[in-house]
Chains A and B, each alone.
Chain A
Amino acid sequence: MFTKRAPKSTRLRTITVFAPVPEQSLDELTERLHRLRERPSPFAAMPDTHFARLTILPRDAARPEPHPRGMRLSATLIDLLTHAGRAQRPDPPSLSYLLFSASYDGPARSRGQAGPAFDADYVERMRVRLGPVADELWGLCSMYPGHSDPARFRAFFAERVLPPAGYIFSASDEQPTVGQIRRALQLRRQVIDVAVETDGLAEDQLVKQLRQVFGEPGAQAPVPDPGTGGQLPLKLEAEPEPSLVDPAADRERLAHGGRPAPTDPDLADVQNLVTSGYPRHLVFRHLLLRITDPPAARRWLAGAAAAIPTAGWAERYVDRVGGPADDSLPDDPADRPAAPDAAVHLAISYAGLVRLGLPEAELAGFAGEFRAGMAGREPGLTPGRGISTWQPPFAIPGRPEPDGQAPMVAGPGVHLLVMFSGTDDDALQAYLAAHPELGPGERHGLQLLDTIEAGRIPADRPGRADAGDAAGKSGFREHFGFVDGLSQPRIHGVTAGRRTAELPAGEVLLGYRDVDGDTAGAGLPSTLARNGSYLVYRKLEQDVPAFRELTRQLAGRLEAKLENGSEELAAAKLMGRWRDGTPLTLAAEHSNPALTRQPFGFQEHDPQGLRCPVGAHVRRANPRDSRPVDPNSALTDGARAGLETELTMRHRMLRRGIPYGQPLPESDSELAADERGLVFIALVGDIRRQFEFIQAHWMSDGNAFRLGTDRDILSGAALQDTKIVIQGTPPTFLQPAKPVVTCRGGEYFFLPGIRALKRIAAG
């Protein structure tokens, strides 16, 4: 069965206790336990305990499980087998309970050997170590004897303990003790600090520092981490349940689970922004608007809806060449379908939909994160920074604190995003002149909060790093000089045809099947959601001088170690691609534009990050086949192949971002103070799974890559003291002096299909 058996001994023990609590004491017990959160947890006094939890199971709270509907065949069969297809009948317990469960270190014993049914030693340790606190925890339980008499204390628990756990899953076979874990964590932190401080230092200074930190015997003995103060983990998000179908409303809801969702989008109803990044358009203007007069705004919307180009033209092209629709266009303009010289698109935030008067029943179907808005989600997306770096209109200074600082708070809310674009300034001006009714103004019940002038950086503009346009038709350069927009997912029926698609349409369009087999936007009425998308909008300011300084510094370090320390290589090590787009994994020493579009994976040729560093931006954004694999292969051999790739495909996004602000030439210092950056735009079917997951777990954290808490420095997630590791022989450790990218705000919008937009406008 297995070529290598896991070790036979186990050390991790568990204990679970159900202690009845009289009904009248439940409230007081709850209050007591909540008050405990204000102090360090009493379980910190139990040094062998890894985890402990307490919860109250009130008798009255027990409810029968609803019988699931819309199950797939396999689940239906299981239900028939185990439950004969019947629903659960009520089974209210006759008592309310205080549930206590803990996992702790015990003496090793062999796996097959059944442990004692009741671990009296652990209970005795609790009695001694917790002392009077045990009375606080269990004092309100029926027949609790107090902590002074060992025999009665033991008997109390013996009567209430559950049989030992049938199966314990632990993170590692070594089953380290709490003490071992804490010592190791402490040491790792020390090693990192020393590595960063001494990177690039001469040998004698290095040794001096090492002796100072590690030399004295006492220096290695860690101050034990006191553990959490018994506080709860952050509460689980209360995502609203999709509202139950109102029989009177007679609206078809987008399908849940079992019922099949359509797979082929109706492109004539989709806003063209989804299928095309408008590669020929160089000038973009984004307007952020607030609705002051809903009826007037709706009239304006109706007019705008008529002007939005749809993706209908792409129907004929997506089935051809295995690439984005844009790439399959003939080169000769005369052969292309009439692509507009200018275009307008628009998207609405949740606050905007509310203001436009959408009925509550429809609004309730939107995903919780969309309803909260990006400002509400930001503390989780960039922990420790939140919206503190945001600027108007996305955030405004709040009331000043006693120390004089005014923390940023969410702004009044952007309702509408209007995106104009054109091949050049003249084309855009001509378009606006020709369609005066499109210009939103006060008379349309719209207040302009901000205008963002964005645009592709064309070849003849100064400051663009390096000629030779590997940017190609679908890519462009951003302010640090990198080609962007290269790796876009091939989405069925939207940007790729049947034969070449890697993801289903629901990954960008609501109302269609998504990668899990679910329907994107399930719970929303199809007349509202079908052919629409969620649009993630994020303004990322880039500090070009700081980035140049960082790459110079890194280049110096690399030169000292590898004798190959060009600034180009340093920049590439941070991004994961050379500036012209060549993946570092394919070309570790020099760029090679021919390889720009070549598909690649990390696992076979670059698992340790020696070519493309593990924390580099593109590797974080799309780890491809290489989530971190435990170095102990005995543990992971035989696990499902291709699992990493499958999991990574659930977090791909179609991106339509555009740089904003004037490029900064190398020599110029006057323009350095001007604002510039990237308007990041992503179109997704599931904001949480596709955007938020990446931002929170792969950008604002390093755990998924075995990088601890290291953050990505190129997406605005980095805190002041983030470190960068460039793997290599030898490795380089670096701490940027200041952030090179800062998020200045953002919002979640809904980019409706044309019919849906007309419906919204009609009210």
Chain B
Amino acid sequence: MAEETDSSTGVSLDTLADNRAGRATALTTLTPLPRFWSPALKLLLRIKTRQGPDKTLRRLSFIHAAYWVVIDRFPLQRRPSRYSYLLFISNFNGSWFDYIDVFSTAVPEKMALLWGSSYGYPGARPPRAFTAHIRANDRPLEHYYSAYPGATTTEIASALRVHERFTATVAPVTSNTTSNAGSAPLAQAWRGFLDDVQRDL
């Protein structure tokens, strides 16, 4: 899948990936923070783990998976670095550029908690400065793999619901290979199933 480029200005477009291919977008940031704050940040991450997933982010539903790691020591480096580092790795639907400002609007305080100790953090609002900071720190990737490139998180959630309903209501009737029971049970099961999952199709 080639990058879309506009030859006249060399500007690459990432508003939306191809229809049904490569809809996942990676964001990888590595930002320095004073060593003093590393234990507090690690504690914060542990607390967030125990609290469970952030509901606002779930509601916005465009993150497949994201994780944070605090690095106090780079492997095999002989002398320690001056700072600790926060590594943030995430997989979004579509263009993160269009969503990163949603973070600013929806969860600015969480952005502050997570990135506030990192150098260069300009505040979650206004989104323009925050986006520029994240973009400047986003590492371009040499290789990115997604096991389901054609699907967004919403589509996956829908697909799982469809699968669950289908298995529960339609599959048992279709596997009835004898047509003794007539076509009515299958047709009925199918119609009930469609009624049920129409918002996921």
Contact = CB atoms under 8 A, between A and B. Distances in A.
Given A227-B146, A236-B14, A518 B126 contact: yes
A383 B63 CA distance: 21
A595 interface: no
Interface string A437-459: 00000000000000000000000
Nearest to A185: B159
Contacts of A322: none
B19 A719 contact: yes
A379 B14 CA distance: 9
Given A217-B175, A257-B126, A82 B13 contact: no
Contact of A53 (B18, B21, B57, B141): B141
Interface string A1-16: 1100110000010101
Interface string A619-630: 000000001111
Nearest to A189: B159
A75 B116 CA distance: 8
A178 B3 CA distance: 26
B127 A71 contact: no
A629 B187 CA distance: 30
Instruction: Give the interface centre of A53, A56, A170 by most chain B CB atoms within 10 Å.
Output: A53
Interface stretch (A91-99, A420-428, A659-667): A91-99
A111 B126 contact: no
B102 interface: yes
B38 to A, nearest CB: 10
A273 B154 CA distance: 40
A91 B82 contact: yes
Contacts of A689: 101
B16 A383 contact: yes
A236 B59 contact: no
Interface in B165-180: 166, 170-171, 174-175, 177
A192 B152 contact: no
Interface in A369-393: 371-373, 376-377, 379-381, 383-384
A695 to B, nearest CB: 8
Interface in B25-65: 25-26, 28, 30-34, 37, 41-42, 45-46, 48-61, 63-65
Nearest to A48: B147
A688 B95 CA distance: 12
Instruction: Give the interface centre of A234, A638, A696 by most chain B CB atoms within 10 Å.
Output: A234
Contacts of A182: 147-148
Given A167-B67, A231-B1, A83 B34 contact: yes
B127 to A, nearest CB: 5
A640 B74 contact: no
Contact of B145 (A68, A70, A227, A696): A227
Interface in A344-377: 368, 371-373, 376-377
B190 A206 contact: yes
Contacts of B129: 68, 70-71, 256-257
Given A93-B77, A383-B19, A639 B145 contact: no
A643 interface: yes
Nearest to A84: B34
A639 B55 contact: yes
Contacts of B123: 68, 71-72, 74-76, 78, 257
Given A410-B8, A647-B105, A50 B15 contact: no
Interface residues of B, number: 145
Contacts of B201: 188, 191-192, 195, 708, 725, 731, 733
B59 A629 contact: yes
A101 interface: yes
Contacts of B194: 195, 730-731
B162 A191 contact: yes
B120 to A, nearest CB: 3
Contact of A56 (B25, B116, B142, B149): B142
B161 A65 contact: no
A166 B141 contact: no
A243 interface: no
B191 to A, nearest CB: 6
A211 B112 contact: no
A429 interface: no
B33 A82 contact: yes
Interface string A499-540: 000000000000000001110001000000000000000000
A758 B17 CA distance: 41
Contacts of B158: 188, 706, 708
Contact of B105 (A94, A228, A646): A646
A51 B67 CA distance: 12
Contact of B46 (A30, A166, A211): A166
Interface in A667-709: 688-689, 692-693, 696-697, 700-701, 703-704, 706, 708-709
Given A111-B49, A207-B183, A383-B17, A516 B146 contact: no
Contacts of B46: 166-167
Given A68-B129, A239-B11, 9 more contacts: A87-B119, A93-B77, A94-B79, A165-B69, A168-B66, A169-B63, A171-B64, A172-B160, A188-B163
6 contacts: A55-B28, A82-B33, A91-B32, A203-B187, A210-B186, A709-B19
